[in-house]
Amino acid sequence: MAEISPSEPSFDLAGRTIIVTGGGKGIGKVYCRHLAAAGARLIVADIDGEASVEVAKEIVSKGGVAVAEPTDVSDEKAVGRMAEAAIEAFGRIDGLINNAALMSDLPRQPWHQIEAEEWDRVMAVNLRGMFLCCRAVYPQMKKQGKGKIVNISSSRVWAGAPDRLHYTTSKMGVVGLTRALAREVGDDNIVVNAVAPGFTLSETQVATSSNEYLASKRNDRRALKRAQVPEDLVGVVMFLLSDASNFMTGQTITVDGGHMMH
């Protein structure tokens, strides 16, 4: 991990309070580890309470600062408690990474085989949950006079990837939410951006994919012909949380090794 240069303080995250939803597993856990190493104070929010506690314990054991907050992002009250926990622990909320999403547990199937209940569940977490989290942190960010929101989309939206229509649709919704919300909170000096990762070999992706499927995701179409790993996303997320991106809002940055270019 690159160190923050003292000659470039605009990249410094030391002392920032950042909430990471879905922070107990997969890519979210990687975000938490790197942000803590950079000096940020973490709220590790995850529907899996034990996982969030384990990540927080790991960070603290290494000298970092983290609080576990079991959170179902589709539950309005739980999301409210998440924001309150950050304020109670650290007195402010500087950043929010909306990372929690339903994806790895979803079966890959044609669109007409998706049950309406499953469609609703995906939208409840991937879109409603993101809306609830943004709304929960907004009063504190407005009070502070600034804040950073980073929404996690997917490069699937540029390709129109099949077999998980509900997931792809929800992640395109993230782009729309990011753009519209950026305009609504700009006067409050809150910036909202999104990151669209490519196919990433996270621990959850590997655990829920067959060897045949992983082998099929060859990297020949990428400009950088290697597998994407969670650490490839850390730099852009840290940039979007830092003062270095203060005049950038409503944007979606694709990080996929040069597969989708637009």
Q: Would you please indicate which residues are annotated as catalytic (active-site) residues? A: 167
Cα separation values, 18 from 46, 54, 211, 255, Å: 14, 18, 35, 21
The residue with tokens 């990474």 is 97
User: Which has the closest alpha carbon to 96: 58, 47, 44, 49?
Assistant: 44
Phi, psi dihedrals of residue 95, rounded to the nearest 5°: -150, 150
CA atoms of 85 and 83, how far apart (whole Å): 5
Which secondary structure element, helix H or strand E, spans residue 125, and what is its range?
none
The answer to whether 184 and 178 have CB atoms below 8 angstroms apart is no
**Cα 44 to Cα 19, 75, 119, 145, 149, distances in angstroms:** 6, 16, 27, 24, 15
- Residue 126 has a CB neighbour count (10 Å cut-off) of 26
DSSP symbol at 209: S
